[in-house]
Amino acid sequence: MAEFGGNPSGLTIYLATMFCEAAQDIHHLDPSNGPSPRELFDRFVGWARRGKPPDRQAV
């Protein structure tokens, strides 16, 4: 957030890119045991709308 503090749109675009990469990686590695698309979205992108990153312990 420090890097994108003045640019929330840029932060969201960056997070969405990371979400897409993670989804592809998980699909190729082990699609049956990975988190759901909703869980991935919440982890990578959804928190930005709330303004607080997820607890690193929970991730």
Q: The whole model's pTM is what? A: 0.69
Measured between alpha carbons, how far is 25 from 47 in angstroms, rounded to an integer?
A: 21
Contact 40, 23 (CB under 8 A): yes
Which pLDDT score is estimated for 59? Answer: 47
Which pLDDT score is estimated for 57? Answer: 53
pLDDT tens-digit profile of 1-52? 678 888 888 999 999 999 999 999 988 888 788 888 888 998 889 888 766 6
Contact 41, 33 (CB under 8 A): no
Measured between alpha carbons, how far is 37 from 51 in angstroms, rounded to an integer?
A: 21
H or E stretch covering 25: helix 8-29
Which pLDDT score is estimated for 36? Answer: 86
Q: Taking the CA of residue 9 as centre, how many other CA atoms within 13 Å lie in the half-sphere pointing to its CB?
A: 0
Whether the predicted pLDDT of 55 surpasses 60 = yes
